[in-house]
Chains A and B, each alone.
Chain A
Amino acid sequence: MTQVTPSPRPQAGLIARLSRARPTKPGEIYGVPGQGNTLWLSAFSIALFFAVWWLVTAMGWVKPLFVPAPMTIVTKFFAVWNEGFTGTPFLSHLMISTVRVFGAFLLACVIGLPLGLAMGMSPVMRGLFDPPIEFYRPIPPLAYLPLMIIWFGIGETSKVLLIFLSVFAPIVLGARSGVKSAAIEQIHAAYSFGATRWQVLRFVIMPSAMPEILTAMRVGIGFGWTTLVAAEMVAATKGLGYMVLSASQFLQTPVVIMGIFVIAIIAFAFDLLMRFVERRVVPWKGRM
């Protein structure tokens, strides 16, 4: 007698059907989490955002003081572009903020990348520098802003330093963990050709750390823009952060929102640039 084993019952319920993985289209890989093109959905979400914004203001559901109409923002932008804000041309505001953020960012790279690599390579360096960095990293910049002012005054130093500190930690930590990216076989291969420790660092560890370093730079500069407004709370007379802050004191909501958009757009543009650089510099990322 042959035993007939019952074939597994087809899943019936709606939930069961929805939660089952579907076969993928050619060109995709079955089961990769979150794959698929999101461009159209993103465009839709942005369009929806503006549509709701427009609707809410056009119907007069909220006062313009709280939410001005989208067109008001655009008009305001051109007004500020032509006439400046508090007597300073718009481009000066833009320039000074950009210089502060990028200055702090470059400084953080120049100091942070070698330090991070050294911490990854040497237990001595790691032992010495881990505690201070881990100590200050989670503190919100606004909390140590007063200290910066007391120590470094209200000039550019404390502003740039504040931004620097917020960029520095992610860059150091990125470089430090990037050191671990090299496969032990790659390192052994270099040593077996007679490489010195320095050559291993230069020819194997640093290149293989590049993906993580670039990601860390991307994250770092994001933190920089996040801290900009806090930094420009310190007796600034120029800058996008200053513009937003002082406009808010005079209840000029359109300028506040316009400033927010300008900061967001610059930060996003730089993020796109970094992603482009990433594709050019480390096309091999995650492929071996």
Chain B
Amino acid sequence: MGLIIDDVSVVFPAADGRPPVSALSKINLTIDDDEFVVALGASGCGKSTLLNLIAGFLSPSTGTLNLGGHRVEGPGADRAVVFQKHALLPWLNVLDNVAFGLQIQGVNKAQRYETANKFVGLLGLDGFQKAPVYKLSGGMQQRVGIARALTCDPQILLMDEPLGALDALTREKAQELILRIWRDTHKSIFFITHSVEEALFMGTKLVVMSPRPGRITHTFDLPFSRRYLDGMPARQVKASPEFIRLREDVLKIIFADEEASA
């Protein structure tokens, strides 16, 4: 069934003498099961707002969102969010952080540790179950966040710049890890990034957004993540002429937006 975003607009009302902000205007987007949709765009074009709508933290001014045939009204366990940072609970160890969603849902201890352990292993965190999360590196913390999001078996994963705070090498490894997890778990993913290369590499569909009012200006279907998952090395995918050509095209679009608004 997937996620269907139908003609959604969001207007933040005027506040502190600032005029109302049209953060999103007439957004139409579907995210099918198994699809990996990446949103890209200049700062302030409404990417996070769109993610908050899907997560149910925000309700649209007009339009509707449907997930699996049900109208989205508030947050729910069928959607899981991976935040950029600050979202883990430092008083819990790695395993308890991963099991947190199941604890909320009242799953008993033995069962939730069993499930959590599975995802701890999947994310390559074996041996760190008892470690305090605040002692982990940024990349490991981010993996804990992803493991936690996966435990409750959501239909769709929502990620707002999840790799933005990582160094280049850790970031590329995390990209590949997320792609493999996406293939293995058959979730759909909505992924926000500022990196054009990351967007092209990860997504099956790319939406490029523009600010004032926030809207989707371009949509691309992408073949690259499939190539990686079919066995082509990541660097080779990213160095292919087709990849580079598309990267420059998308950069041109975004720079044009930046200049228009500057």
* A and B: bona fide binding partners: yes
The residues of A with any CB-CB pair to B shorter than 8 Å are 183, 185-186, 188-195, 199, 203-204, 207-208, 210, 282-284, 287-288
Which residues of chain B from 73 to 91 have a CB within 8 Å of any chain A CB?
A: 75-77, 79-81, 83-91
Do A189 and B87 touch (CB < 8 A)?
yes
CA distance A186 to B89 in the complex (A): 7
Tell me, rounded to whole Å, the shortest Cβ–Cβ distance linking B146 to chain A. 12
> Do A194 and B87 contact each other (CB < 8 Å), given the known contacts A188-B57, A199-B104, A283-B132?
no
Do A284 and B83 touch (CB < 8 A)?
no
CB-CB nearest in chain A for B87? A185
Q: Does B134 contact A (CB under 8 A)?
A: yes
> Do A191 and B75 contact each other (CB < 8 Å), given the known contacts A185-B85, A185-B86, A204-B89?
yes
Do B87 and A183 touch (CB < 8 A)?
yes
Question: What are 29 A-B residue pairs whose CB atoms fall within 8 Å in the complex?
Answer: A183-B87, A185-B84, A185-B87, A188-B55, A188-B75, A188-B81, A188-B83, A188-B87, A190-B100, A191-B75, A192-B76, A192-B77, A192-B81, A193-B80, A193-B100, A193-B101, A193-B105, A194-B75, A194-B77, A203-B89, A203-B100, A207-B89, A283-B132, A284-B90, A284-B132, A284-B134, A287-B134, A288-B86, A288-B134
Q: Does B40 contact A (CB under 8 A)?
A: no
CA distance A193 to B134 in the complex (A): 22
By a CB distance below 8 angstroms, the chain B residues around A186 are 86-89
Q: Does B152 contact A (CB under 8 A)?
A: yes
CA distance A201 to B86 in the complex (A): 17
B80, B100, B104: residue with the most chain A Cβ atoms closer than 10 Å:
B104
Q: Does B133 contact A (CB under 8 A)?
A: yes
What 0/1 pattern do residues 15 to 53 of B give for CB contact below 8 A with A?
000000000000000000000000000000000000000
By a CB distance below 8 angstroms, the chain B residues around A204 are 89
By a CB distance below 8 angstroms, the chain A residues around B55 are 188, 192
Main secondary structure of the interface of B (DSSP, over half): loop
By a CB distance below 8 angstroms, the chain B residues around A188 are 55, 57, 75, 81, 83, 87
Enumerate the 10 nearest inter-chain pairs by beta-carbon distance, A residue then B residue, closest first.
A284-B90, A185-B87, A193-B101, A183-B86, A288-B90, A185-B83, A287-B134, A193-B104, A194-B77, A288-B134
CA distance A135 to B91 in the complex (A): 36
CA distance A190 to B77 in the complex (A): 10
Q: Does B103 contact A (CB under 8 A)?
A: yes
Which of A185, A193, A282, A284 is in CB contact (< 8 Å) with B77?
A: A193
Do A210 and B91 touch (CB < 8 A)?
yes
For the A-B complex with A204-B89, A207-B91 known, give 17 more contacts whose Cβ atoms are closer than 8 Å. Answer: A183-B87, A186-B87, A189-B81, A189-B87, A189-B100, A190-B100, A191-B57, A192-B55, A192-B56, A192-B81, A193-B100, A193-B105, A194-B75, A203-B89, A203-B100, A288-B90, A288-B133
By a CB distance below 8 angstroms, the chain A residues around B134 are 284, 287-288
By a CB distance below 8 angstroms, the chain B residues around A193 are 77, 80, 100-101, 104-105, 152
Which of A183, A203, A210, A287 is in CB contact (< 8 Å) with B103?
A: A203
CB-CB nearest in chain A for B80? A192
Do A194 and B86 touch (CB < 8 A)?
no
By a CB distance below 8 angstroms, the chain B residues around A282 are 91
Tell me, rounded to whole Å, the shortest Cβ–Cβ distance linking B54 to chain A. 10
Do B104 and A195 touch (CB < 8 A)?
yes
By a CB distance below 8 angstroms, the chain B residues around A203 are 89, 100, 103-104
By a CB distance below 8 angstroms, the chain B residues around A287 are 90, 134
